[in-house]
C-alpha cells in the first residue's frame, strides 16, 4: 500500500483511554485523530472525517465493536478500509472472532502508550 496512514478514527467509550490514545497517536505517531465515544457517533462522523483506518473498542454500551464494524462495512466508501480492535478481550476465541470479521489485527488493552503508534503502523502496513 503506497498510501500513508494519516487519519485515524478511534471509537472508545472510556474517556481516559480515549485521551491517552489521542495524545500518543497525535504526538508520537503524528496522526490526525478523531476520537468518538461509541458506534452511533462513529457512523455519524465517519463520512465527514474520512479516516484511513479505524480503531475500535470491542466492548461498548449500546453498539459494541463487532456491531459497529459491521455497520461501517455496509458503507461503500469504507468497505475495504483497515479496521483494528483495541480490546481487553484477549481470549484466543475473541481474537479469532475479530479476525474472522475481517479486522486487520487486535491491539491489547491496556496498551503501551510508547508503542501504540508503532503497533497501529504495523497493522496498517499489513493491511
What span, in angstroms and rounded, lies between the C-alpha atoms of 81 and 4?
13
Q: 7-126: what CATH class?
A: alpha beta
Query: How is the chain split into domains, by residue range?
Result: 7-126
pLDDT digits (tens, 9 = 90+) for 84-119: 999 987 889 999 999 999 999 999 999 999 999 999
DSSP assignment string, 27-53: HTT--EEEEESSHHHHHHHHHHH--SE
**Residue 114: burial class (beta carbons within 10 Å; 0-12, 13-18, 19+):** exposed
Written as tens digits, the pLDDT of the chain (127 aa) is: 468 999 999 999 999 999 999 999 999 999 999 999 999 999 999 999 999 999 999 999 999 999 999 999 999 999 999 999 999 878 899 999 999 999 999 999 999 999 999 999 999 999 9
* DSSP 8-state assignment for residue 14: -
Amino acid at each position: 500500500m503506497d498510501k500513508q496512514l494519516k487519519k485515524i478514527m478511534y471509537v472508545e467509550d472510556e474517556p481516559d483511554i480515549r485521551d491517552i490514545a489521542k495524545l500518543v497517536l497525535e504526538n508520537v505517531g503524528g496522526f490526525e485523530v478523531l476520537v468518538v465515544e461509541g458506534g452511533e457517533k462513529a457512523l455519524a462522523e465517519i463520512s465527514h472525517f474520512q479516516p484511513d483506518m479505524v480503531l475500535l473498542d470491542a466492548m461498548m454500551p449500546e453498539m459494541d465493536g463487532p456491531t459497529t464494524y459491521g455497520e461501517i462495512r455496509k458503507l461503500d466508501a469504507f468497505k475495504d478500509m483497515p479496521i483494528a480492535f483495541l480490546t481487553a478481550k484477549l481470549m484466543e476465541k475473541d481474537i479469532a472472532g475479530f479476525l474472522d470479521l475481517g479486522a486487520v489485527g487486535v491491539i491489547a488493552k491496556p496498551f503501551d502508550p510508547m508503542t501504540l503508534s508503532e503497533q497501529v503502523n504495523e497493522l496498517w502496513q499489513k493491511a
